[in-house]
Amino acid sequence: MKNYGKFVSGLLVAWFLFALFASALQLFKNDSNRFGVAVAIAALAPILLFFLWFTASRSFRQFTLSLDPAILASLQAWRIVGFTFVLLEAHRVLPAVFALPAGYGDMAIGATAAFAAWKLATPANRNAFVIWQVLGIADLVTAVTLGTTAFLLSPHDASMVPLTLLPLSIIPTFLVPLFLIFHVICIAQAKSWEVASRRTRPIVGPAQPAAL
């Protein structure tokens, strides 16, 4: 497990550096007022790789399920920075149709991350923990969908180009897929809690007559 931890940590660093340098080279820049193909590939490739690896490798699956769900949930607190979307919309830098739902949605998840981590990340609160994870995924999917279609929904509003340039480009190319992967891992962990509880549940049957 230690080797997996070092290897995955290295992959995360390499992924972040790729997103950073590609953004610095303006490889993600898209003047067509939407995320564009480059951003889509950068965001979807790590997610697909994770799902393939998780499905095909039992050892990797065991590693991910061994991670602390409280820590994974608490890392979502970074999404409180969604308030920057709201501020940028107020200054007409980002379109309202994207910035307001994405900003307030991220702020809601970020503000409740500590509660989810320390109160819900237990087998006893499994259902509430899963619901919170699903809401977090829904917020990310909504933000990506609105970011992709903003030029159609509000063609005369501000452009989405700033999200394809540094520093905002790190959000769709690194943070969004990473947070989504964290949500998926937490849901998989919660499912294992249910299986474990069923296996350890005592079998209750009719009382046996005492031996004579």
Q: What is the pLDDT of residues 10-68, one digit of tens each?
A: 999 999 999 999 999 999 998 776 678 899 899 999 999 999 999 999 999 999 999 99
- What is the extent of the structural domain holding 147? 2-195
**Residue 205 pLDDT:** 44
Determine the pLDDT at residue 203: 44
CA distance 202 to 192: 18
Q: Is 204 among the domain residues?
A: no
CB 127 within 8 A of CB 135: no
pLDDT of residue 31: 76
Cα distances (angstroms) measured from residue 15 to each of 21, 28, 170 = 10, 15, 11
Residue 177 within a domain? yes
Query: Does residue 181 sit within a domain?
Result: yes
pLDDT at residue number 78: 97
Please check whether residue 168 lies inside any domain of the structure: yes
pTM of the model: 0.90
* pLDDT at site 102: 97
3-state secondary structure of 68: coil
pLDDT in tens, 83-112: 999 999 999 999 999 999 999 999 999 999
Total count of domains within the chain = 1
Whether residue 185 lies inside any domain: the answer is: yes
pLDDT greater than 90 at residue 179: yes
Residue 201, in any domain of the structure:
no
Residue 212 lies in a domain: no
202 found inside a domain: no
Residue 174 has pLDDT above 80, yes or no: yes
Mean pLDDT of the chain: 90
